[in-house]
Structure 1
Amino acid sequence: MCMVIFAPIFAICAFATCGGYYGHLQVKVDCADRRQSNLSINIDFGYPFRLQQVHFKAPMCEAKREETLFLDGDFSSAAQCFVTVGVFAFLYSLLATVVYVFYQNKYLKNNRGPLVDFVVTVIFSFMWLISSCCWAKTLSDIKSATNPTQVLLLISACRAQENKCTATQEPLWSRLNTSAVFGFVNVVLWAGNIWFVFKETGWYKTGQRYPTRSASGKRSSEMRQRLYSESSFDQPDDNFGPQPTRQDSFNQSKGVHGQTSFNQLQVNSSLPQTYLGKPVIYNGENTVASQGPMIFVNEM
């Protein structure tokens, strides 16, 4: 959404501030002979900055005539490249906006739309970078070529010390400076959009299907595995054997109870039996003399 909104706006600002520039420079030549002076020499230039075609007339103080002079330099290639990149970026941004809004399903179909968008975004990012750097260097050269001091050196009358030559008006460079700034803003905007376009491609989605674990995730997994192995080794060895079924458990419990009962019977038969009751003591007349506790012992 950021790309859809700001890309066309910054593209327009870039090529409009460069392509619509118009510069004006004014100098004056005050000859020793006042009659040959020209106090308002106007020099106009602009896009595409073919300065070798810009000419003006200056008086020749020694003779009663004027000379035609031309500025130096042809800077049209860098300026036209910058404007062309801006125009095509603007048109592509409008096309991408229409596709994003009205043809979203066709855009995502077969992954062709995101791949084309990714490649075009990379190309425009590279082109913005190249054109902006070239335009910034060319702008510096244009400022040097239209410097009033440099222009006055072209006039033959200004080389004589008795004549006075000065600049009455210099060009304003704020608009061209703004165009260079907008060029680098477009570089940042398009380069930053590469990541968001890449996320829509199949390359990114394929990588997301098999995510790689981070170092912290690996360490936590190894720690859990180590704790699990240690807890497993602490258990008795019987746990690693085959677990008895329900029928085996029943038979085992039955055998244990049977063996226990048999052992109890064997112990009871081997130990002397005792009987606690009231003892009966007989006297000589076979009468009960007294009663008390009586113990009967059966010895084997």
Structure 2
Amino acid sequence: MAAPRLSLGPLKEPLGLMRALQWFFSIFAFATCGGFEGSVTYRVTCEGRENHTVTATFGYPFRLNHAVFQPSLTHLCNHTWPKDVHLVGDFSSAARFFVGVAVAAFLYSLGALGGYLGYLQVYRCAGSRLPLMDLVASGLVAALWLVASSAWAQALGHVRAAAGAPLPHCPSPTASCARTALTAMGGLGASVAFGFLNLVLWAGGSWFVYKETPLHRPAPPPGPTPAPM
């Protein structure tokens, strides 16, 4: 294996710069989605009794049907609720897929950038298959970003609707249930935006990888033929 020749020169070229941007913005994608924690709070007023506040906490991976309101509603309003009340919906598939793609993109862009910085002479040598492999991988990651971002954008709409829905099984006039607090989900909206930004970066970066492949670079012309004697 060839010895590495560390050089920061690739960072000044579109090939290396795009990898650095892909690495940087993939961090924001999985951090804004995977690091989210929120809650929804309701004030429950029972007829002729004091008010109570119940809260359900939720976050990544957004299995809302596991988020239980606390303290238990079964003890309120003369046992109006026969069992614990959960939020509705399981959106873990889309959320985990999105974060998984972000982590994979982070690792690949970091590895590819390290390869450019240390082994660019091997990457660009005649007959190297590395650019073609890099192109296939880049196109695959771009496609995954498209699918993951679209799926997560749709799931996020359902998360917002489920978290903002009225408290289930709140009978009137026996009890009244008013939502008093709901964590803002602007960070989750930003995760969708970062997802589509990463899609643009990977699709655009694929063009610069393509320019390194034999598909774009013409084969070197044959050497001069010797003159007949």
Q: Please classify the TM superposition score into its range, dividing by the shorter chain length.
A: 0.7 to 0.9
1:113 Cα shift?
Answer: 1.1
Indicate the SS of the match to 1:23: strand
Q: Deviations over 1:69-93 (max 9, x none)?
A: 1111110000000000000100011
State the number of aligned residues.
Answer: 202
Given that 1:18 and 1:83 are in contact with CA atoms closer than 8 Å, whether structure 2 keeps it comes out as: yes
1:17-62 Cα shifts (integer Å, max 9, x gaps): 0001001111110111214x41x21110000011111112225424
Name the SS of the counterpart of 1:34 in structure 2. Answer: coil
| 1:47 equivalent in alignment to 2:47 | no
CA contact (8 A) 1:22 1:44 kept: yes
Go from structure 1 to structure 2 and tell me whether the alpha carbon gap of 1:139 and 1:65 turns closer, same or farther (over 3 Å shift).
Answer: closer
Please give the alpha-carbon distance, in whole angstroms, between the structure 1 residues aligned to 2:141 and 2:55: 39
Question: Aligned to 1:165, what secondary structure does the other structure show?
Answer: strand
Q: 1:8 aligns with which of 23, 32, 36?
A: 23
Which stretch shows the higher mean deviation, 74-83 or 161-170?
Answer: 161-170
CA distances 1:105-132 after superposition (whole Å, capped 9, x unpaired): 2212323110011000100010000000
Deviations 1:120-172 (A, max 9, x none): 0100010000000000000001111111xx241x1x3x221353221111121
Q: Secondary structure at the match of 2:85?
A: strand
| 1:161–1:190 distance in 2 versus 1, CA, 3 Å | same
Which runs of 5 or more structure 2 residues have no equivalent in the other structure?
A: 1-15, 222-229
User: Who wins on radius of gyration, i.e. which is larger?
Assistant: 1
Kept in 1: contact 2:39–2:57 (CA 8 A): yes
The aligned runs of 1:124-203 (5 Å cut-off) are 124-147=141-164, 150-152=165-167, 154=168, 156=169, 158-203=170-215
* Match 2:109 to one of 93, 106, 113: 93
Counterpart secondary structure, 1:203: coil
AA matched with 2:115: V
Judging by fraction of residues, say which structure has more strand. Answer: 1
SS in 2 for 1:43: strand
Q: What do residues 226-249 of structure 1 show as CA deviations (whole Å, max 9, x unaligned)? A: xxxxxxxxxxxxxxxxxxxxxxxx
SS at match of 2:89: coil
Structure 1 contact 50–76 (Cα < 8 Å) conserved = yes
Q: Distance in 2 between matches of 1:208 and 1:46?
A: 56
Tell me if 1:84 matches 2:97.
no
Deviations 1:162-213 (A, max 9, x none): 532211111211110010000000011100111111110011112897xxxx
Q: Distance in 2 between matches of 1:60 and 1:67?
A: 11
TM-score normalized by the length of structure 1: 0.64
1:143-292 alignment, distance < 5 Å: 143-147=160-164, 150-152=165-167, 154=168, 156=169, 158-206=170-218
**Residue of structure 1 aligned with 2:42, choices 4, 18, 27:** 27
Q: Give % identity.
A: 39
More helix by share: 1
How far apart are the structure 2 equivalents of 1:12 and 1:108? Answer: 29
Residue 204 of structure 1 aligns to a residue whose secondary structure is coil
How many angstroms does 1:66 deviate by? 7.0
Residues 90 and 70 of structure 1: is their aligned pair in 2 closer, same or farther, counting only changes over 3 Å? same
Identify the structure with bigger relative contact order (alpha carbons < 8 Å, sequence gap 6+): 2
Q: Is the 8 A contact 1:33 1:61 kept in 2?
A: no
- Please tell me the residue identity of whatever aligns with 2:18: M
CA RMSD in angstroms, aligned pairs only: 1.9
